[in-house]
Homo-oligomer: A and B are copies of this chain.
Amino acid sequence: MMDQIKLGFIGLGGRGAGLAALVADMADVHIAAVCDVYQDRVDKTIERLAAKQAHPPEGYLDYRQLLARGDLQGVVIASSWTTHVEISLAAMRAGIYAASEVGGASSIQECWELVRVSEETGVPFMLLENCCYGREEMAVLNMVKQGLFGELIHCQCGYEHDLRSEITRGTENRHYRLNNFTYRNADLYPTHGVGPMAKMLNINKGNRFTALVSMSSKARGLHEYVVEHLGPEHSQIDTQFAQGDITTTMIKCARGETILLTHDCSLPRPYSRGQRVQGTLGIWMEDKNALHFDDFDGERWAPMSEYLEKYDHPVWRDFINDGVRGGHGGMDYLVQRSFIDAIKAGRQTPIDVYDSVAWMAITALSEDSIACGSAPVPFPDFTNGKWIRNQPVADNYWSLDGLYEGVSALT
């Protein structure tokens, strides 16, 4: 186990810079290098980290130069969606653990490429799916493992987040969402929803996604927002957005479960990931913040708070005792720790390349399905059959190091 590791951060927009600042406070990490295509972001991040570390990081405009340093054990990639894969592949080829911020895949081919390069180099790739580390998600995972829901049958989830302001101001804020919503029509952001569900359903560990079908509504929310809030002189006033306001996706699993995903970012609404976990013995609904079990009398919903006390995941018990840190209610901290601990132990990441690409692929597949009139689309088996033998390992999911089943040492 290494005492301190050296990390690089690539992509220093709001997300990347924020994560770097969070990680710079960790005693066992030194952020040695940071990179962005914009010089002002590089300068600002160096200044911000100089106040937190004994030595400030070096700055780069080209990620290839950062990867060529030769002293980094891992990189955190928070660049634009469509550059995650290219940079991750280069990092693995350089022998550096690659952690990518979330986002959907543009093609199935790039998913396969991540698998191939991770397998050939033996270097892990981890999607930084922070929602897998949410308190509620981990408590429900704990309940699933303890059998409270019986056999799982159906899950629902989504990304329901009013991003009209951020998307339509993409030119001002240099955000890649704008172009994606302008030209694509898909579940552009599936992983926050599907990640926790995939872990509960043991995807790639005795189960897998087999097919998917998607449908999008018309696109009205973004244009109406531009007209109402940004005015006739705005750069996007004539933009015809391809992305439907609501995209719904149904996924079938090899063991017969179904998952329903909603992508909902361009209409007014409070935030929700719309999660629901339903089995033969019970149901959890995030939007009700409540559960129902088969032995309840009648129509009763029990508030989640009653169950959190008893079923908080041990990782979260410790986290609460130690003091919750980091953004998004603490899950940003846990997902970074999980990546860092894997590097320090020379181990596979708890979200591995198979998990990552299965979740990311939903974007490309849903795009295909919608383009073909909601045709069902087969889901690639990125494990090439290994999902059948990879069974969940029950006894190592309790620690953060071995947070989820199936985490194994690198061979």
B270/A293 in contact, CB under 8 A: no
Interface members, chain A 252-278 (any B CB < 8 Å): 252, 255-258, 260, 264, 267-271, 278
B267/A153 in contact, CB under 8 A: yes
Confirm or deny: A375 has a beta carbon within 8 angstroms of a beta carbon on chain B. yes
A361 to chain B, nearest CB (A): 17
Q: Which of A217, A271, A373 has the most CB of B within 10 A?
A: A217
B374/A246 in contact, CB under 8 A: no
A373/B211 in contact, CB under 8 A: yes
Confirm or deny: A294 has a beta carbon within 8 angstroms of a beta carbon on chain B. yes
Confirm or deny: A376 has a beta carbon within 8 angstroms of a beta carbon on chain B. yes
Known: A215-B250, A376-B375. A268 touches B287 (CB 8 A): no
Interface members, chain A 109-151 (any B CB < 8 Å): 150-151
Q: Within 8 Å CB of A281, what residues of B?
A: 268
A248 interface neighbour in B218, B258, B280, B282, Cβ under 8 Å: B258
* Residues 290-303 of chain A, each 1 if its beta carbon lies under 8 Å from chain B, else 0: 00111010111100
Confirm or deny: A213 has a beta carbon within 8 angstroms of a beta carbon on chain B. yes
A283/B301 in contact, CB under 8 A: no
Known: A221-B280, A268-B294. A373 touches B374 (CB 8 A): no
Confirm or deny: A29 has a beta carbon within 8 angstroms of a beta carbon on chain B. no
A368 to chain B, nearest CB (A): 13
A217/B376 in contact, CB under 8 A: no
A261 to chain B, nearest CB (A): 11
Known: A211-B373, A245-B154, A374-B211. A268 touches B282 (CB 8 A): yes
Confirm or deny: A279 has a beta carbon within 8 angstroms of a beta carbon on chain B. yes
Interface members, chain A 209-237 (any B CB < 8 Å): 211, 213, 215-218, 220-221, 224
B250/A271 in contact, CB under 8 A: no
Complex: chain B residue closest to A271, CB-CB: B299
Q: Within 8 Å CB of A218, what residues of B?
A: 153, 255-257
A292/B269 in contact, CB under 8 A: yes
Q: Which of A268, A282, A288 has the most CB of B within 10 A?
A: A268
A258/B278 in contact, CB under 8 A: no
